[in-house]
């Protein structure tokens, strides 16, 4: 291998979008690494940096040049390489000229398909520094940037204007241009604390040099420091920092030199719902709220400054002046909303469009009401609570508070319902209807919340599918994938005995527009089973096990999971593989049999000992298996059925099934059909 050097690249920009900073960073690194791989340039450990004003990559031990390579070209067949006089043919001479060689320099290549003229040539590898600029350029062009911008009078485009480019290979600058700027060994520190240029001596010194210039280049290092500072600042005022992971990432992407500053607000604002105050601080101001040991909000916040001020009190006071009017606005919204109850707002939902083909939010609410009442009736839950919760479910959407803080829909409904003296079960359901909010998120705990969440999600799924707006690719504007998975998780993890087909058909009946109910039902079921597959695979089940259960058309999620668990446990038995193969063989044989072959069974025609024993054991086993299946004790049933392994193996070994006598053949096929019928009541084990 040739010598190696460290590669360092930094792109200095105006402030990059905080929500995509790490995405840009990671794609830049992967793009350059892929380019090095494609160029056959080996490399070692990689490092990546990202701040609001820079993206940087350090790759250790990049080969200084490509390895020399022997290239062999194949020419015409040896049989066509000579004319009748034994001289090189025109084809052979043309091949030699094309290779820049004499005919005498050619060799031969033997393959399975014959012998050919060939020419071997040693091609010298290119220097890495000549390949690196194009590799970086390609990576930059492929960054996932939704909208590129131009600046100045150039035609260069990027997510933000670029101000400097640093490119080192070892200690040497690679002479090239990016975005009209010459690459150099110059970088820049903090915009205010250290605005002068910095000469980067080597990739290994970059992190330390920037730290001296008030820039913490590592995103992870900066993130850890921010979290530590926030925790210490909250502790200083007797509280705990409420650190939302996504907010922590966003703040990390906004600062280069983080300094935590504590501020406070008037205690009377604590009378507002804490979620409102937390949302105001997090979303509008990028502050970390402070909680007490019981999780209650304290009148403090922590902001992360991008400068080390000589007067921190002034920074704190400035932030306090900003947050106060924000909280006053929230207080005003609360007071205005209190002038009307949620029940007063029900009629206004008819003025809010849900989807123009599916009607208003009021129409959706009435469908949810009917569906919720039916589900409550089926499950033995409180119908009055279910109906009341459904009627009020969307009323907080037309409040001033949710108009300002859309992410608090449901949460505000719960608070307002409590203020309106609605039953606690109803108030709780108004918040729980939107659960789970993300993969693996909390589920509704109350019975009314579960019913409302199921009804709301089913209405959306069926309604959107009925008008043909199916999700495509990564586009899912109505969050149907999340809704489907939510329905499944609520049913499975709360052990609710409901069948998806019945649920979807019931939801279809609530709509009054023209659509194909059968087609919609099939599409929704298929869509939900796809989500169920992902859920099951995430739980550790195999695709084969999942198919084994779906093959028996089981659409009751709780029952499905019971069968799947049984199949999983059955697959661990020593008899599983043999019985799986036997069932596969039985299915292949039954394809050649009449559809009603089981009706042809005549035990009197069983004359061989192996088939008699198999029939007797099957009869005995059926008496045990049938009640087990009826009680959903699937693994116990499969364990009993597994005792058929030896008699089945003996049957296949000694009995000629496709006998010349049609009645004997059909009786033997019928016996196998009966065996298969017992297994298929649980799952198609031939699929595992």
Which domains are seen in the chain, by residue range? 4-65+127-212 (3.30.70), 69-123 (no CATH), 219-337 (no CATH), 343-540 (1.10.3210), 561-687 (1.10.730.10)
| Model pLDDT, residue 48 | 97
* Residue range 46-75: mean pLDDT, rounded: 91
Pinpoint the alpha helices (H) of 198-308. 206-212, 219-236, 245-252, 274-279
Tell me the pLDDT tens digit for each residue of 363-407: 999 999 999 999 999 999 999 999 999 999 999 999 999 999 999
How far is 32 from 134, CA to CA, in rounded Å? 10
| Model pLDDT, residue 164 | 97
- Residue 589, pLDDT > 90, answer no
- Residue 1, pLDDT > 50, answer no
- Residue 554, pLDDT > 70, answer yes
- Residue 359, pLDDT > 80, answer yes
For the record, the structure tokens of 409 come out as 């829909």
- Residue 408, pLDDT > 90, answer yes
Residues above pLDDT 90, as percent of the chain:
76
Residue 132, Cβ neighbours under 10 Å: how many? Answer: 23
Residues above pLDDT 70, as percent of the chain:
100
Q: Between these two residues, 301 and 84, which has the higher pLDDT value?
A: 301
Q: What is the overall mean pLDDT for the chain? A: 93
Record the pTM.
0.82
- Residue 344, pLDDT > 90, answer yes
- DSSP SS3 for 282: helix
* Residue range 618-635: mean pLDDT, rounded: 92
Write the CA distances from 459 to 112, 434, 455, 511, integer angstroms: 64, 13, 6, 9
How far is 526 from 541, CA to CA, in rounded Å? 19
Could you tell me which of 595, 592, 586, 608 has the C-alpha nearest to residue 671? 586
For the record, the structure tokens of 295 come out as 């999780």
| Model pLDDT, residue 76 | 81
| Model pLDDT, residue 564 | 97
Beta bridge partners of 302: 262, 288
Spell out a b/e string for 338-358, using b for 16 or more CB atoms within 10 Å of the CB, else e: eeebbeebbeebeeeebbeeb
| Model pLDDT, residue 2 | 52
User: Which range, 26-40, 99-113, 577-591, has the best average confidence (pLDDT)?
Assistant: 26-40
């Amino acid at each position: 291998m040739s010598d190696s050097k460290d590669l360092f690249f930094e792109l200095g920009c105006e402030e990059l979008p905080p929500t995509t900073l790490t995405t840009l960073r990671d794609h830049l690194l992967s793009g350059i690494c892929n380019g090095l791989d494609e160029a056959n340039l080996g490399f070692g450990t990689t490092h990546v940096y990202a701040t609001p004003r820079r993206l940087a990559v350090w790759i250790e031990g990049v080969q200084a040049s490509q390895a020399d390579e022997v290239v062999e070209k194949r020419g015409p067949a040896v049989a066509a390489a000579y004319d009748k006089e034994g001289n090189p043919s025109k084809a052979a001479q043309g091949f030699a000229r094309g290779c820049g060689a004499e005919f005498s320099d050619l060799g031969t290549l033997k393959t399975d398909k014959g012998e050919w003229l060939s020419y071997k040539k040693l091609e010298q590898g290119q220097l890495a520094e000549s390949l690196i600029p194009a590799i970086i350029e390609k990576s930059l062009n492929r960054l996932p940037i939704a909208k590129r911008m131009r600046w100045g009078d150039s035609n260069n485009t990027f997510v933000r204007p670029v101000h400097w480019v640093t490119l080192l290979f070892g200690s040497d600058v690679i002479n090239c241009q990016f975005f009209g700027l010459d690459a150099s060994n110059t970088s820049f520190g903090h915009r205010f604390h250290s605005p002068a240029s910095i000469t980067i001596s080597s990739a290994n010194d970059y992190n330390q040099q920037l730290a001296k210039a008030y820039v913490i280049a590592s995103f992870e290092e900066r993130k850890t420091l921010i979290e530590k500072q926030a925790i210490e600042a909250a502790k200083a005022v007797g509280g705990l920092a409420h650190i939302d992971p996504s907010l922590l990432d966003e703040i990390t992407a906004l600062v280069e030199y983080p300094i935590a500053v504590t501020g406070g607000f008037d205690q009377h604002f604590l009378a507002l719902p804490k979620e409102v105050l937390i949302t105001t601080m997090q979303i509008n101001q990028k502050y970390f709220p402070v909680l007490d040991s019981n999780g209650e909000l304290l009148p403090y916040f922590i902001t992360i400054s991008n400068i080390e001020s000589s007067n921190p009190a002034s920074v704190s006071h400035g932030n306090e002046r900003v947050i106060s009017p924000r909280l006053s606005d929230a207080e005003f919204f609360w007071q205005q909303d209190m002038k009307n109850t949620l029940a007063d707002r029900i009629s206004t939902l008819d003025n809010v469009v849900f989807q123009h083909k599916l009607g208003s939010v009021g129409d959706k609410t009435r469908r949810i009401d009917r569906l919720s009442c039916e589900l409550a009736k089926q499950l033995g839950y409180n119908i009055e609570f279910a109906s009341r919760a459904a009627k009020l479910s969307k009323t907080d959407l037309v409040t001033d508070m949710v108009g300002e803080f859309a992410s608090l829909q449901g949460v505000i409904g719960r608070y307002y319902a409590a203020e309106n003296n609605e039953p606690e079960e109803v108030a709780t359901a108004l918040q729980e209807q939107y659960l789970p909010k993300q993969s693996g998120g909390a589920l509704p705990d109350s019975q009314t919340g579960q019913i409302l969440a199921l009804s709301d999600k089913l209405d959306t799924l069926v309604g959107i599918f009925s008008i043909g707006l199916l999700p495509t690719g990564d586009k899912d504007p109505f969050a149907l994938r999340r809704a489907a998975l939510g329905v499944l998780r609520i049913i499975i993890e709360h052990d609710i005995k409901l069948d998806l087909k019945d649920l979807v058909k019931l939801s279809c009946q609530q709509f009054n527009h023209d659509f194909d109910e059968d087609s919609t039902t099939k599409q929704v079921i298929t869509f939900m089973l796809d989500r169920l597959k992902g859920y099951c695979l995430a739980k550790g089940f195999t695709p084969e096990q999942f198919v084994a259960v779906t093959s028996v058309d089981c659409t009751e999620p709780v029952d499905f999971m019971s069968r799947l668990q049984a199949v999983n446990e059955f697959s661990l038995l020593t008899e599983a593989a043999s019985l799986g193969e036997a069932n596969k063989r039985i299915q292949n044989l039954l394809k050649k049999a009449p559809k009603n072959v089981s009706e042809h069974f005549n035990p009197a025609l069983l004359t061989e000992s192996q088939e008699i024993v198999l029939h007797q054991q099957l009869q005995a086993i059926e008496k045990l298996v049938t009640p087990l299946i009826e009680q959903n004790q699937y693994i116990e049933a499969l364990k009993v059925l597994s005792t058929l392994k030896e008699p089945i193996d003996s049957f296949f070994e000694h009995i000629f099934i496709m006998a010349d006598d049609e009645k004997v053949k059909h009786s033997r096929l019928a016996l196998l059909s009966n065996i298969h019928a017992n297994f298929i009541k649980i799952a198609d084990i031939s699929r595992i």
